[in-house]
Amino acid sequence: MGKVRISSLAKELGIKSNNLIDKCHEKGLTHIKHHANTLDPEQVEMLKKLFRRTPNDSATKKELKVKEAIKVDVKEQKREDKTISQEDKEIKAVQPDKIVRFHKSTPRQKQSTKVAPSKVFWKKKQVGGPSHQKNKGWRERYVEVKKPVVKERESRVIMETPITVKDISSKLGIRANEIITKLLLEHNVRATINQILSEEIVQLLGLEYNVEIEIKKKEASEEYDFVADQVSAREEDKVLRAPIVTFLGHVDHGKTSLLDCIRKTKVAEGEVGGITQHIGAHKVETNGKHVVFLDTPGHEAFTAMRARGANVTDVVVLVVAADDGVMPQTEEAINHAKAANVPIIVAINKIDKPSANTLRVKQQLSNLDLIPEEWSGKTPFVETSAITGAGIDTLFELLWLESEILELKAIPKNPARGVVLEAHLSEGRGVVANVIIQDGTLHQGDIILCGRTYGRARLLIDDKGKEIKETGPASPVSISDFSDIPEAGDKFYVVSDIQKAREIALEKRNKDRETSLAKHQHITLDNLYSMIADGNVKEIKIILKADYKGSVEVLKKALDALSTSEIKVRILHSAVGGITESDVLLADASDALIIGFYVTAEEKARLLAEEKGVEIRLYKIIYDATNEIKAAMEGMLEPEKKEVVLGYVEIRQVYNISKYGNIAGCYVKSGKITRNSLVRLIRENIIIYDGKLESLKVMKDDVREVKAGFECGLKIANFNDIKVGDIVEAYEIQKIARTLSV
Ligand SMILES: Nc1nc2c(ncn2[C@@H]2O[C@H](COP(=O)(O)OP(=O)(O)OP(=O)(O)O)[C@@H](O)[C@H]2O)c(=O)[nH]1
């Protein structure tokens, strides 16, 4: 028990605060002077003992008698409940010395209700009614009700995400309705009682209710605790698994052709007669070693998957055409791979072409920090041709080498888990999900929990179109049947209990619905400082797009220079051109800001940014960009101030009050005027004075606002030169978050 206020304890004891204060003084607690003063738990106990009477006390005996007498039997009570009128639902505290009398009470009640106790709450009820034979007419009766328990609010609470309005209400002891109203009126957030709130809003509510809320993030895996229990993590159970590879690169540089070439040569080699199935990925085996290639090349698909939280790719093969060299999307692909921290192997393709210039490609890539191993760099390079098949074997060797370096391991004896690559409804097979197993082994008949859906792996089909009974780590497989269509990027887990899978899937569905309302809060210049201060941000990631290469370079340097010892500014991607969907995807997946210099965002990109909550800032002056980021890092970014006219008020009379000054008798012509309005006195279209209101009254009462069509009296602070016919313009300064546009 924490400290208790005098007023709360007095209420609990059913006595007046002053009586309790007197008792405190008697007991030497002379510092207690006011009903808002607080008592320690020991002091509370001591005082409670003093006021608590034993059953032998005469007053208490009487109370018991009264209670006994007015006990209403359950049946009668139920009948009475139906007849309670609204006004009788008031809760009354009966004073100790008052006698409770009933209208037309029965003789038994008359005898026993001379004195009402002092310590309990009573509810006045109307009972009976015309149908009562003995006591016709309505009677009034007091029945005891439970006293509301006043919960002491803690000054610091720990809450685990996701946090709903209901959670805050019960944790802070504040009515949910009050919170909902506050969110709507003060924060413009529409919330239901089960609404999951963003962390920012939770913290804000904490501040406003004077409670420090520590938010504990629930790990996604905790949701699957019961699955994790079955998982072995022993080193001796681990085996090397095949790397999962994605091809990235500029348009037409040969990504698809290379994939086709591998499929034709290697798949045919390994599985005679197998027909390649497009199930999102395919596994290739040569000399007993495997590599898994994802079917969808390109950095958009790669980053979109990552934005959904699924980092499936272990290694990126960057395809650069030997004749074309490094092109804009080559750079983009490099930056997408780097932002995902995925290692890159470079395939210089189309070497069969006479115009091929591999040396130039190596030089260009070296300038982008991808230095070939033969030049003492760290990036493996291979020269390939999708037409002749040259270099494919070397590419495989490099991929295996990379998987050994990365120590890609899995535990085949574990229950399977992985990621959905694609899912659809198939005639005859029901819901089909093409997945990649990242760990464990999937068996036919396994129960699967997959995002918001669940089911049994009734039919397993591999990438060669063969029905299989089981498949291990790093294998693409097509599974049916699920309760619903999962989404690409959803994680799946094999679980032991279908009922539990159903429950979790349902719970996730509900949570997702609500979480989508509490938009994920990406980094913005407005929240940057608080995020830094909270220790949530150690790095500001930026995607930079500008009109010329020169501007990109200058801005890059200027932004890099903003890095401090605590906060690093990292340019994830910079390029010439407008802001594209791919930039927004990258920002979404990496929690980055997008900065545009003399460029705008494509409409699709702008809409996607709005949907994902990614901030795009557009500038025309380099100094503005660097200065704003610096200011935001230092928490100095002032919101833009906008003047909003509230209404116009005409002065119709002037009253001079000595010692006080001139009071204007007014009529609100349009809009409204509020007590906190700023005001301008306008005479013949000229602003005579700009200042504040000192008072705003209707008749003699101070009011908060007066609307159009009503009269009021007002006094302008520190200004007396008012005349009949003057116009008072009421306005306010609204602070709005700054968004700069070109
Ligand atoms: N000569 C030669 N042509 C190639 C090679 N690889 C691809 N091509 C040709 O280049 C063109 C584009 O190849 P794709 O495989 O479609 O290129 P991509 O990178 O997948 O292109 P997008 O899917 O549009 O991004 C096709 O006409 C291919 O036949 C190669 O190694 N040598």
The domains of the chain, with CATH numbers, are 4-51 (no CATH), 55-146 (no CATH), 156-216 (no CATH), 242-407 (3.40.50.300), 417-515 (2.40.30.10), 528-637 (3.40.50.10050), 644-735 (2.40.30.10)
Pocket of ligand 1 contains residue 141 by CB under 6 Å: no
User: Among 134-143, 372-381, 648-657, which is the least confidently predicted range?
Assistant: 134-143
* Cis peptide, bond prior to residue 372, ω within 30 of zero: no
Task: Give the three-state DSSP class for 249.
Answer: strand
Per-residue model confidence (pLDDT) at position 549: 87
- Gap between the Cα atoms of 358 and 675, Å rounded: 75
Per-residue model confidence (pLDDT) at position 146: 55
Q: What mean pLDDT is predicted for residues 60-88?
A: 39
Per-residue model confidence (pLDDT) at position 16: 77
Pocket of ligand 1 contains residue 50 by CB under 6 Å: no
Strand partners, 282: 293
| 521 pLDDT higher than 80 | no
Rounded to a whole number, what is the largest CA-CA distance in the chain?
A: 118
**DSSP-assigned states of every residue in 148-204:** PP-PPPPSEEEEESSEEHHHHHHHHT--HHHHHHHHHHHH-----TTPEEPHHHHHH
Pocket of ligand 1 contains residue 254 by CB under 6 Å: yes
| 53 pLDDT higher than 70 | no
Distance 253 CA to ligand 1 centre (A): 5
Note the pLDDT tens digit of each residue in 325-373. 999 999 999 999 999 999 999 999 999 999 999 999 999 999 999 999 9
Per-residue model confidence (pLDDT) at position 314: 94
Distance 281 CA to ligand 1 centre (A): 19
Distance 337 CA to ligand 1 centre (A): 21
**DSSP-assigned states of every residue in 31-44:** T--STT-EE-HHHH
CA atoms within 13 A on the CB side of 459: 16
Closest residue by Cα to atom 2, ligand 1, is 350
Alpha carbon of 737 to those of 303, 619, 734: distances in Å? 29, 16, 10
Distance 250 CA to ligand 1 centre (A): 10
User: Among 368-382, 462-476, 493-507, which is the least confidently predicted range?
Assistant: 493-507
User: Among 77-91, 198-212, 687-701, which is the least confidently predicted range?
Assistant: 77-91
Closest residue by Cα to atom 13, ligand 1, is 254
Q: What mean pLDDT is predicted for residues 581-603?
A: 89
The answer to whether 707 is a known ligand-binding residue is no
Q: Which atom of ligand 1 is nearest to the CA of 259?
A: 15
- Residue type (1 letter), 41: P
Pocket of ligand 1 contains residue 434 by CB under 6 Å: no
Pocket of ligand 1 contains residue 240 by CB under 6 Å: no
User: Among 7-21, 98-112, 624-638, 642-656, which is the least confidently predicted range?
Assistant: 98-112
The answer to whether 255 is a known ligand-binding residue is yes
Closest residue by Cα to atom 8, ligand 1, is 254
Pocket of ligand 1 contains residue 336 by CB under 6 Å: no
| 539 pLDDT higher than 80 | yes
Q: Which atom of ligand 1 is nearest to the CA of 251?
A: 25
Pocket of ligand 1 contains residue 301 by CB under 6 Å: no
Average pLDDT value for the chain: 79
Decide: pTM greater than 0.95.
no
Closest residue by Cα to atom 6, ligand 1, is 254
Pocket of ligand 1 contains residue 350 by CB under 6 Å: yes
The answer to whether 251 is a known ligand-binding residue is yes
Distance 582 CA to ligand 1 centre (A): 22
Distance 683 CA to ligand 1 centre (A): 76
Q: What mean pLDDT is predicted for residues 221-229?
A: 46
Q: What angle do CA 436, 438, 439 make, to 5 degrees?
A: 135
Task: Give the three-state DSSP class for 431.
Answer: strand
The answer to whether 369 is a known ligand-binding residue is no
Q: Which atom of ligand 1 is nearest to the CA of 257?
A: 15
User: Among 41-55, 100-114, 469-483, 666-680, which is the least confidently predicted range?
Assistant: 100-114
Pocket of ligand 1 contains residue 88 by CB under 6 Å: no
Pocket of ligand 1 contains residue 252 by CB under 6 Å: yes
Pocket of ligand 1 contains residue 349 by CB under 6 Å: yes
Distance 436 CA to ligand 1 centre (A): 26
| 386 pLDDT higher than 70 | yes
User: Among 15-19, 226-230, 645-649, 738-742, which is the least confidently predicted range?
Assistant: 738-742
Q: Which of 184-188, 244-248, 615-619, 697-701 has the highest mean pLDDT?
A: 244-248
The answer to whether 288 is a known ligand-binding residue is no
Distance 346 CA to ligand 1 centre (A): 16
Per-residue model confidence (pLDDT) at position 42: 84
Pocket of ligand 1 contains residue 387 by CB under 6 Å: yes
ipTM for the whole complex: 0.98
The answer to whether 253 is a known ligand-binding residue is yes
The answer to whether 351 is a known ligand-binding residue is yes
Per-residue model confidence (pLDDT) at position 413: 86
Higher confidence at residue 254 or residue 298?
A: 254
- Gap between the Cα atoms of 475 and 264, Å rounded: 19
- Gap between the Cα atoms of 322 and 385, Å rounded: 10
Q: What mean pLDDT is predicted for residues 720-734?
A: 91
| 627 pLDDT higher than 90 | no
Per-residue model confidence (pLDDT) at position 587: 93
Percent of the chain whose predicted confidence (pLDDT) is above 70? 77
Task: Give all strands (DSSP E) within 271-405, no chain letters.
Answer: 281-286, 289-294, 315-321, 344-349, 381-383
Task: Give the three-state DSSP class for 216.
Answer: strand
Ligand 1 pocket: which of 247, 251, 256 to mutate (most atoms within 8 A of CB): 256
Pocket of ligand 1 contains residue 285 by CB under 6 Å: no
Q: What mean pLDDT is predicted for residues 1-18?
A: 79
User: Among 149-163, 219-233, 495-509, which is the least confidently predicted range?
Assistant: 219-233
* 304 band by pLDDT with thresholds 50, 70 and 90: confident
Per-residue model confidence (pLDDT) at position 320: 97
- Gap between the Cα atoms of 82 and 105, Å rounded: 20
3-class secondary structure for 532-543?
HHCCCCCEEEEE
